[in-house]
A and B are shown apart, each in its own frame.
Chain A
Amino acid sequence: MKRKNLAITLAALAAFVAGGAQAQNEQFIPANGYWVGPYAPGGSGFFGGIIDYFQMLNTRDGGIGGVKLTWEKCETEYNNARGVECYERSKKHPPTGASVIHPLSTGITYSLIEKATADKIPVISMGYGRTDAADGRVFPYIFPLITTYWSQNTAVIKFIGRKEGGMDKLKGKKIVNLYHDSAYGKETLPVLDVQAKKYGFEVTHIAVPHPGNEQQAQWLEIRRIKPDWVILRGWGVMNPTALKAAARAGYPRDKMVGEWWSGAEEDVIPAGDAAKGYIAAAFNLPGTSFPAMQDVVKYVYNKGKGDLDDKTRIGSIYHTRGVVAGIITAEAIRDAQAKYGKKPLTGEQVRWGIEHLNIDDKRLKELGAVGLMQALKVSCMDHEGGGAVKFLQWDGKKWNVITDWISSDQSIVRPMIEQSAAQYAKEKGITPRDCSKES
């Protein structure tokens, strides 16, 4: 009996040690997102994409450099306080604590800037967050990767210029900026004003109070202004409501350009026929034809391990956006492993990997992501790295790509970023890094 008990104890001990050893060889990336509430479609799609990509790497390649990727879901409900709570919980997770955070919320990103910098945990705010964080000298741990709101906005105006027959044709045109009355919505007001001055168009900013499920007054105002174009900067229910209200006001949908948080399937399907012809910006494309997405289907969904319950969402805009976030995160870890060794990495080490990301066309091909995303080169000076946008048009059933990658106008954006970041550094007493001394 004693011998049996001893055997059981030893077996349990061995299992505990093996489990511990396994945990020692895992890279932990928290999934602090939202799966319930008004913004659940965005949260569940995006984090579904990240998790699916990590799962695919684990199944196909055994992780990255032999280190398995692990994650843990924490529900933030798109709420700043909950976002900080999830962050605090995840930063203590073994073996290294959170190695990188994707808050998927501009508000939560703002709340984490100082905390994450102090804790040396990088925050990737891909296509959202604080635009001037693109100046890596002032914000070493914040990465508004691929394209910031301001960059996107200059690409939107370039797109409208193309449609009008040239940027010089913008003079005298009327553009309405219909925006969500929040920090997120107001983020592009200054850059639009600068562009209006530069190109001679007239911009009218019209605010829609949260949540945006009633827009009659705003659209009557738009009808009175008779704009040539409407830029839609919405989120959640504000988007289908705007499309429906545009139809009620008799405004043509192919003269409405949404930004990328107004350009998912979830934004147009509820609007039904009212969404036909609507145009939206994108920094990732939908679909399952990309080799990276085919691997996700093959190694994850075909093995019954997918994160999305609704399989019709595989390859949707939010899902592929999550896959792109997964690719970028994985590439940063891969780069950091090349420097620090094939082992679980700390946030500080992963930060180095993100800051040295260089996903060129050749690498995109190797990753099976040509067309899914644009090439990306990040540096100490530039935490954005890409800056280009494609435009999609909804035909009632699916998004169709209608442009190539349209680059942003950095002659407008970069000086504004540097000025704003310098102001922030002054307020917070931060001495900007000297990028020439960074390795």
Chain B
Amino acid sequence: MNWAFFFEVLIGGLLAGVMYSLVALGFVLIYKASGVFNFAQGSMVFFAALTFVSLTERGMNLWVAMAVTLGVMVVLGIVIERVVLRPLVNQPPITLFMATIGLTFVLEGLSQIVWGSQPHGLELGIPDVPMEWLSKSANINISQFDLFAAGVSGVLVAVLAVFFQKTRIGRALRAVADDHQAALAVGIPLQHIWAIVWAVAGFVALVAGLMWGARNGVQYSLTFVALKALPVLILGGFESIPGAILGGLIIGASEKLAEVYIGPYFGGGIESWFAYVIALLFLLVRPEGLFGEKRIDRV
């Protein structure tokens, strides 16, 4: 057993998992606040990244482009609340879920109509190459960009945790998630809360889009990163921000280790479905996920 290689795979997997968590966070936010599984999160990641990169390619300063894109995502969140969600208040969750499926295709089409379907490169100024000192001293290749992405995720989680636990809006979000009608009855403005949470999810989508876009380029396939987040959500729980992070780490590490050590026995290429095997196993043992809230219904 080559332990240096094992640890390289393990660390690489953990860092890849952080990238999955970034996408999963967007799902968690909306589910936590509205009980809706937002199928359109992948499209929001694509839309945000494509808007940002298209603005910078038209000569806009990086920070200005980021601010403008954030503004666009906030407006998008408000529009979604007004046009799609508001008419569906008190409808069953499956109706809202179906609405987000429709939203996915609208966003994908809109992105390509406005900005075109060509792939774009995205450089954030963080080199995506192995750190030389680590390569030389331990023969382990860890990219600076991966560490940067892990740092960004950490900060994002901390900010979101404070937002949800310590602010009035955060508490209102949690109340709305528990029961729409009860929240309305105690005077919580449901529409405002939904608009806020979709805007925050738009911000998370922008961050995830920048990270994934810098890694693979900004193109339509960014919508597929949502598929990477699904096993993370199943494992970590749909309502838990720490669950999204821990789930990402477990999925990332285990799928990479499986691909390297078990994959050759199956002809390779197993990591995409292996992640779901792990998630399903967890589901059997703990249906609500690692950190999901156990639901008890009185009958």
Residues of A at the B interface (CB closer than 8 Å) are 35-38, 40-41, 44, 181, 205-211, 213-214, 216-218, 220-221, 223-224, 236-237, 240-241, 244, 247-250, 266, 269-272, 274, 309-310, 313
Contacts and interface: CB of A to CB of B under 8 A. Distances in A.
Interface stretch (B68-76, B175-183, B199-207, B264-272): B264-272
Nearest to B270: A209
19 contacts: A40-B220, A41-B118, A181-B268, A181-B269, A205-B268, A209-B269, A209-B273, A213-B225, A214-B16, A216-B16, A217-B259, A220-B12, A237-B119, A248-B129, A248-B141, A269-B121, A269-B217, A270-B120, A271-B217
B258 to A, nearest CB: 8
A237 B108 CA distance: 16
B128 A216 contact: no
A224 B5 contact: yes
Given A36-B117, A213-B225, A220-B12, 12 more contacts: A38-B224, A213-B216, A213-B221, A217-B13, A217-B256, A218-B259, A237-B219, A241-B217, A248-B128, A248-B141, A250-B129, A270-B122
B102 interface: no
B255 interface: yes
A270 B269 contact: no
B216 A237 contact: yes
Nearest to A34: B117
Tell me what chain A mostly uses at the interface: helix, strand, loop, or mixed.
helix
Interface of B: 2, 5, 8-9, 12-13, 16, 108-109, 112, 116-123, 128-130, 135, 141, 143, 145-146, 212, 215-221, 223-225, 228, 255-256, 259-260, 263, 267-273
A389 to B, nearest CB: 24
Given A38-B220, A181-B269, A270 B256 contact: no
Contacts of B16: 214, 216
Contact of A37 (B135, B220, B225): B220
Tell me what chain B mostly uses at the interface: helix, strand, loop, or mixed.
helix
A270 B272 contact: no
Contacts of A41: 117-119, 219
A35 B120 CA distance: 16
B284 to A, nearest CB: 24
B121 A211 contact: no
A217 B135 contact: no
Nearest to A266: B119
A29 B170 CA distance: 59
Contact of A207 (B5, B146, B267): B267
Contacts of A274: 128
Nearest to B228: A214
A33 to B, nearest CB: 12
A216 B13 CA distance: 8
Contacts of B219: 38, 41, 236-237, 270
Nearest to B259: A217
Nearest to B132: A250
Contacts of B112: 36, 40
Nearest to B267: A207
Given A248-B141, A310-B118, A221 B260 contact: yes
Contacts of A44: 117
